[in-house]
Amino acid sequence: MVLSYASPHSAPTLLKVLSDATRMRALALLALEELSVGELARCLGMAQSRVSNHLRVLREHDLLDERRAGTSTYLRSAAVNARPDSSLGRLWLALAPDLSELPEHQSDRLRLGAVLADRHADERAFFDRVAGDWDKVGALFEKGTARERAAAQLLPQGIVLADLGCGTGYVARSLAGLCERLICVDRSAGMLEEAQGRMKDITPDRATVEFRQGELDALPLADAELDGAVAAMVLHHLPELSPALQEMRRVLKPGGTLSIVELMPHHEAWMHQDLGDRHLGLEPAAIQQALNRAGFVDVIVEPLEDRYCPQPGPDGPTGAESRATAPRGDVALPLYLVRGRAPQS
Ligand SMILES: C[S@@+](CC[C@H](N)C(=O)[O-])C[C@H]1O[C@@H](n2cnc3c(N)ncnc32)[C@H](O)[C@@H]1O
C-alpha cells in the first residue's frame, strides 16, 4: 500500500491518531452508525468527557463528518465516505477487516444494539405523544396535492377519464387525482361554469381538465378516447337509456370501464320539478339490460351504503308549491352502482 505524505491525511499522522485503541473503537462504531456524542459514550462504556477528548483529536484530523439536528450533533466516521483511492480510504480499507479483532469490539457492538433500540423507542414514543395533535402541527401543505400526486404514481400513466353529466363537478374533482386528462361533459353551460369554478385549483401538473358542452346521446368525444367514465345521477334525466349507453361504449377504449351511480325507484314526485328529474329513480335491471344490449361486458350491480338526501330547490320551477308538499330533511333515497366494461375487441 502506498500512502501519500502530501495529503491532509498523511500516513504517519493517521497512524499516530489511530494507534489509540479508544479512537479506533470510536471510528469503528461511527463507521457502522451515525451517533450522537452521548450515544457514542454509551457504546464505549465511558464518560462523555473522556470521549470528547478523543473526538477533539479525530476532529482536528478531519476524521469525523458532523451533522447538527436541534441541540444534538451526530457524528459519522469520515472514512465511510472517503474516496477509496485517498490515503484515508485506503488505510481504512486495510484496517476495517481487523476491527472485529479489537478485544472491546464485541461488547461495543452489543451496547450499540441497545443504544439503537432505545433511539427507535424514543422516536416511536415521540410520534405516539404527538399523534393526537399531528394534524394541527404537521399535516398542512400549501396546495394539499403532494400526497395525491404520490398516490397517482401507482396508477398507469396517461389515463383519460370523463365525468358524463358532470353537473357542478363533484365527481370530476375526485377523478382529477386519478388521471392525466379529465373531460367534463354536460349539456348545461351553467353547470359547466360551476364545475369549472370547483376545479379551478387543479393545475395541469395534476391533470389537464377540459369542459365540453354536449348531449349524452351525441357525446362530444372521439371514438375510444377514454379509459374510463363516470355517469353519476344522470341517467334518470334521460328519455331513453340505450342511445346514451351506446355512445358511452363508443367513446371507451377496449377494456375501458363505465361506472354509473343511480337512484333506486322512489316516490318523491316533487323531485320532477325541483330537481328536474325525468324518472323517479331507475330499476337496476333496466340499466343492466341496456348496458348488455349496448355491448358492455362484466356488468355488475351493487347497492351503495350512501343515501341521496335532496332538498326542495329554493328556486325550483314550482317554488313555494313544491316546497310546501316536499318533505324537509328526512328524504334519504337508496343508491346503487352499476359497472360495465367495453369488450377487449
Ligand atoms: C343531477 S345532475 C348530476 C351531476 C353530477 N353528475 C353529480 O353527481 O353531482 C345531472 C346533470 O346531468 C346533466 N344532463 C342531464 N341530461 C343530460 C343530457 N342528455 N346530456 C348531457 N347532460 C345532461 C344536467 O345538465 C345536470 O348537470
Task: Output the ligand 1 site: residues, CB below 6 A.
Answer: 165-167, 170-171, 186-188, 191, 215-216, 232-234, 237-238
How is residue 123 written as a grid cell? 422516536
The count of C-alpha atoms lying within 13 angstroms of the C-alpha of 133, restricted to the half-sphere facing its C-beta, is 5
- Amino acid identity of 237? H
* Residue 318, pLDDT above cutoff 70: no
* Residue 320, pLDDT above cutoff 80: no
What is the pLDDT, as a whole number, of residue 314? 63
Report the distance separating Cα 268 and Cα 284, nearest Å. Answer: 18
Nearest Cα residue to 275 out of 330, 328, 322: 322
Q: How far is CA 200 from the centre of its chain?
A: 21
Q: Where are the beta strands (DSSP E) in the chain?
A: 35-36, 64-69, 72-77, 160-164, 181-186, 208-213, 226-232, 252-263, 297-308, 333-341
Query: What value does the mean pLDDT take over residues 107-136?
Result: 96
What is the pLDDT, as a whole number, of residue 5? 42
* Residue 165, pLDDT above cutoff 70: yes
Residue 96: band (very low, low, confident or very high) from pLDDT cuts 50, 70, 90: confident
CB 230 within 8 A of CB 164: yes
* Residue 326, pLDDT above cutoff 80: no
CB 35 within 8 A of CB 43: yes
Query: What value does the mean pLDDT take over residues 39-44?
Result: 98
- Residue closest by Cα to atom 27 of ligand 1: 167
The residue to which cell 476524521 is assigned: 63
* Residue 30, pLDDT above cutoff 90: yes
With the most atoms of ligand 1 within 8 angstroms of its CB, the residue from 184, 186, 247, 335 to mutate is: 186
Return the bridge partners of 27, or none.
none
- Point out the least confidently predicted range of 65-74, 93-102, 185-194, 264-273: 93-102
- Amino acid identity of 27? L
Full strand arrangement of the beta sheet holding 181-186: 208-213, 181-186, 160-164, 226-232, 252-263, 333-341, 297-308
The residue to which cell 452508525 is assigned: 33
- Residue closest by Cα to atom 1 of ligand 1: 233
- Residue closest by Cα to atom 13 of ligand 1: 165
What is the pLDDT, as a whole number, of residue 8? 54
Segments of the chain assigned to CATH 3.40.50.150: 146-341
What φ, ψ does residue 255 adopt, rounded to 5°? 90, -10
What is the pLDDT, as a whole number, of residue 260? 98
Segments of the chain assigned to CATH 1.10.10.10: 11-137
- Residue closest by Cα to atom 26 of ligand 1: 167
CB 311 within 8 A of CB 268: no
Could you give the percent of the chain with pLDDT greater than 70? 92
Fold of 11-137: Arc Repressor Mutant, subunit A (1.10.10)
What is the pLDDT, as a whole number, of residue 327? 58
CATH superfamily of 146-341: Vaccinia Virus protein VP39 (3.40.50.150)
The residue to which cell 398542512 is assigned: 140
Query: What value does the mean pLDDT take over residues 100-106?
Result: 86
Residue 151 Cα to ligand 1 middle (Å): 29
- Residue closest by Cα to atom 20 of ligand 1: 215
Residue 265: band (very low, low, confident or very high) from pLDDT cuts 50, 70, 90: very high
* Residue 80, pLDDT above cutoff 60: yes
Residue 298 Cα to ligand 1 middle (Å): 25
Residue 165 Cα to ligand 1 middle (Å): 4
Residue 169 Cα to ligand 1 middle (Å): 10
State pLDDT tens for residues 202-250.
988 889 999 999 999 999 999 999 999 999 999 999 999 999 999 999 9
Query: What value does the mean pLDDT take over residues 280-284?
Result: 98
Distance separating the N- and C-terminal Cα atoms of the chain: 69
Could you give the percent of the chain with pLDDT greater than 90? 75
CA 170 to ligand 1: nearest atom: 9
Residue 242 Cα to ligand 1 middle (Å): 16
CB 206 within 8 A of CB 177: yes
What is the rounded average pLDDT for all residues in the chain? Answer: 91
Query: What value does the mean pLDDT take over residues 48-59?
Result: 96
Residue 164 Cα to ligand 1 middle (Å): 7
Residue 233 Cα to ligand 1 middle (Å): 7
Residue 88: band (very low, low, confident or very high) from pLDDT cuts 50, 70, 90: confident
- Residue closest by Cα to atom 2 of ligand 1: 167
Residue 218 Cα to ligand 1 middle (Å): 14
- Residue closest by Cα to atom 4 of ligand 1: 167
State pLDDT tens for residues 125-153.
999 999 999 999 999 998 888 888 888 88
